[in-house]
Amino acid sequence: MEFKRINSGTVRCIVDQEDMVQYDIKVEDFFKNSENLHEFLHMIVERAVEEVGYEPKDLGSLSMQIMPLPQNRLAITLSENTATSFSDILDNIKETISDMDTDIANELGRIEQAMKAKENRLKTRPDELCIISFENYEVLTGYAASLKDVQGIMSSLYHNRNSKEYILVLRKGRASKERFERALDNAADYGKFVSDREVFAENVKEYLDCIIKTKAINTIAELA
């Protein structure tokens, strides 16, 4: 189990399979409000205090996000958010899991399939940031070709080697609200909403392969 301090209010914990076996935790447990899972989450907070001096003001203000990593690992990010109660932690986890590597996906089974069905359209209308996944490059090029005006919109493209998906990070940038919303409307027809949280964008940047750093949509449209 590895800990990394992101900033004063955020810390990331990398959990591998040995850690999950040691604490008798499975991926399915993240979908259940079980006592065993709550003990595991509290243990992570306590370890974060010991390892990197993390000092959350109130457990009730913590939000948590999870992201699949290569080699069957998970990145669990803790951040202080006064608008999020500790009882909402599991809901945040459900919303942020997108796709797993082979071993973990096999464990999820029916639960994963049900979640994918719910993610087939955008669920929120982010004001500044939106992270979207595309099943393959062909679908991604279709989306880029569908956009007529992306002036001012910032975009970066990443690739998930495990799931083979392409992850597009969109930022409103200098674009008008209407132009950014049109880009999100089109995205709902081609991809799946992943997150509108900055901490998730940092996870993508750190752990996935960057394909196109800037003006990704423009570049893809030109190559299509």
202-217 exposure pattern, b = at least 16 Cβ within 10 A, e = fewer: ebbeebbeebbeebbb
- Cβ–Cβ < 8 Å for 30, 90: yes
Cα separation of 195 and 200, whole Å? 7
Length of the chain: 224
> Which of 63-77, 122-136, 150-164: highest mean pLDDT?
150-164
Q: What is the pLDDT of residues 188-200, one digit of tens each?
A: 889 888 888 888 8
Q: What residues contact residue 59 under an 8 Å CB cut-off, 6+ apart?
A: 42, 45, 86
- pLDDT exceeds cutoff 50 at 214: yes
Q: For the ranges 36-40, 82-86, 191-195, 207-211, which has the lowest average pLDDT?
A: 82-86
Q: What residues contact residue 117 under an 8 Å CB cut-off, 6+ apart?
A: none
- pLDDT exceeds cutoff 70 at 142: yes
> Which of 57-71, 125-139, 167-181: highest mean pLDDT?
167-181
Residue 70's pLDDT is 65
The residue that leads in pLDDT, 34 or 152, is 152
**Residue range 70-90: mean pLDDT, rounded:** 60
Q: Where are the domains of the chain?
A: 2-117, 120-223
Residue 137's pLDDT is 92
Band of pLDDT at residue 89, cut at 50, 70 and 90: very low
> Dihedral of CA 86/91/97/100: which sign?
positive
- pLDDT exceeds cutoff 50 at 84: no
Cα separation of 93 and 161, whole Å? 21
Beta strands in 138-191 (DSSP E): 154-159, 166-171
- Cβ–Cβ < 8 Å for 218, 151: no
- pLDDT exceeds cutoff 90 at 212: yes
Residue 148's pLDDT is 80
* 3 state SS for 119-149: CCCCCCCCCCEEEEEECCHHHHHHHHHHCCC
Cα separation of 172 and 7, whole Å? 24
Cα separation of 183 and 154, whole Å? 11
In CATH, the number for domain 120-223 is 3.30.70.1950
Residue 122's pLDDT is 44
What is the model's pTM? 0.49
> Which of 65-69, 147-151, 157-161: highest mean pLDDT?
157-161
